Amino acid sequence: MKAEKTAEIVIVGAGSSGICAAIAAARAGRKVLLTDRNQVLGGTNTLSMVSPLMGFSSGGREVVAGIAQEIVDRLAQRGGTLGHIPDPLGVTETITPIDTELLKQVYYELLRETEGIELLLNTSLVSSKVEEDRIISLQVLCKDGVREITGDIFIDASGDGDLAVASGVPYVLGRESDRLAQPMTEMFRIGGVDFTKVRSYMRSHPEQFVLAPDADSMPYTAVSGYFDTVAKAREKGDLTLARDRVLLFEGVRSDEAVVNMSRVILKSGTSSAEMTEAEIEGRRQIDEIIAFLRKYVDGFQNIRLLATGAAIGVRETRHIECRYCLNEQDVVAGSVFEDAVAVCAFPIDIHDPAGQELHWTKTDTLPCYDVPYGVMVPRKIRNLLVTGRCVCATHEAAASVRITPTAMALGQAAGVAAAIACSEERPVGEVDVHRLQRALLEAGAIPGKAFV
């Protein structure tokens, strides 16, 4: 097949990580082709309406900045975020509520303004041609047929590691014990919430909620709780989904909430058939949750459904095997790595793959650890990097490192690393990490980071 498209750096997946990778590589002067199977930029955050972003700060300072912060700044200019505000749940230091519709506009605006990026949507990866441990070309299914793309360096930002797998890189699916992955959630947004009533109930029943010690003094409301109310509704058969709590976040506008409560378990995000079943079940659950909230929870009697994600949110699928595998101890101990390329300030937060609970690993201080370059350098293939959700991590560590600001930060690092590999004509595994770190510092990606 004749190559119909070519670029120095080819990226599969235009989610938050892939977009940051594309911008970083283009700013480094490389010719970039950014592809996605969907029509809409932004992946999980836009298609599946995931908000708030979590984990920009630790110890009172920003640990993720650079392109990720530019995105937040542009959202702020459009009135699309409340900025980085203290987390009322106490799970992380700050959260960043966003308007996911405006995020789409910001992504298109940024890509329009960045020279050197060609965008190709409606383009699904079909296969990868590998010769002597190098990807030679990709076969992609476009609206107008199967096409071939060639490039020098490839970045897998598909979330699921589709390109790495198609190129023969080994991977691990889900958790070690039974290969099950975290559940999927169909996110939705509601209006008409009376947060005065919600806060009043939370104040009088604090034992029913996960709350930061000073949550009551914060102007913003996040809800993780109503445990007894949920248990009662489940007993009566009014709630059948596998969830032990109400989980929702106040929206960017005052009477709106983003609801992260549906839970579809035991389905794989790498199977079209199971994804279809998950989509159908997720939408059934939205109706059930709205009926439950109206009937059981004061302040929700007058809610209305404003929007649902265009696609169910997939928390976990494949972890691509790389030079280093991030593990639970790295997260809990706040590990520091010589080849750090990003910092993650979020704990291990596992939605039970087979049940209703949420396991949050509490530590004395909120977690903050380095993410090493090694988690992005796959085994076997010399001109491929992986970024975002599919980097190499155990099930436990992935439940921390998958968070959006970190996916953005890793994307920026992958873009810069790919640009270096491209200009020096060397395998991604031989990129001078100190040069990469200097470039990230200069770009303001990891403010004040002292590398070891």
Q: Are 69 and 61 in contact (CB under 8 A)?
A: no
Of the CA atoms within 13 Å of residue 8, those in its CB half-sphere come to 21
* 95, burial (CB in 10 Å: exposed 0-12, middle 13-18, buried 19+): buried
Tokens of 216: 């009551």
The token pair at 432 is 């001078």
CB of 301: closest distance to ligand FAD in angstroms?
A: 26
Contact 341, 371 (CB under 8 A): yes
Residue 18 or 347 with smaller CB distance to ligand FAD: 18
| Least separation in angstroms between CB 103 and ligand FAD | 11
Number of Cα atoms under 13 Å in the Cβ half of residue 282:
28
Min separation Cβ 43 and ligand FAD, Å = 2
Please, which residue, 4 or 194, has the CB nearer to ligand FAD? 4
Helix (H, G, I), strand (E, B) or coil at 313: strand
Closer to ligand FAD by Cβ: residue 31 or 402: 402
Contact 25, 9 (CB under 8 A): yes
Nearer to ligand FAD, 3 or 438 (CB): 3
Count Cβ atoms below 10 Å from residue 276 Cβ, excluding itself: 12
- In the complex with ligand FAD, the residue whose CB is nearer, 14 or 239, is 14
Asked if residue 282 lies in contact with residue 186, where contact means CB atoms within 8 angstroms, the answer is yes
Q: How far is the CB of 17 from ligand FAD (least distance, A)?
A: 3
Nearer to ligand FAD, 215 or 451 (CB): 215
> Which of 122/327 has CB closer to ligand FAD?
122
Question: Contact residues for ligand FAD (CB under 6 A)?
Answer: 12-18, 35-38, 43-45, 48, 50, 52-54, 124-125, 157-160, 162, 185, 187, 260, 313-315, 388-389, 402-404, 407
State how far the Cα of 13 lies from the Cα of 320, in Å rounded to an integer: 15
Query: Using an 8 Å Cβ cutoff, are 257 and 189 in contact?
Result: yes
Min CB(179)–ligand FAD separation in Å:
18
Residue (360 or 451) nearer to ligand FAD, CB: 360
Whichever of 28 and 390 has its CB closer to ligand FAD, that residue is: 390
Q: How far is CA 345 from CA 56, 215, 370, 441, in A?
A: 7, 19, 9, 18
Do 448 and 405 meet the contact criterion of CB atoms below 8 Å apart? no
Q: Closest approach of Cβ 446 to ligand FAD, in Å?
A: 17
How, if at all, do strands 117-120 and 32-35 pair? parallel
- Least separation in angstroms between CB 383 and ligand FAD: 18
Distance in Å, CB of 426 to ligand FAD, minimum = 25
State in angstroms the smallest separation of the CB of 371 from ligand FAD.
13
Q: CA-to-CA distance for 220 and 248, rounded, in angstroms?
A: 12
Contact 81, 105 (CB under 8 A): no
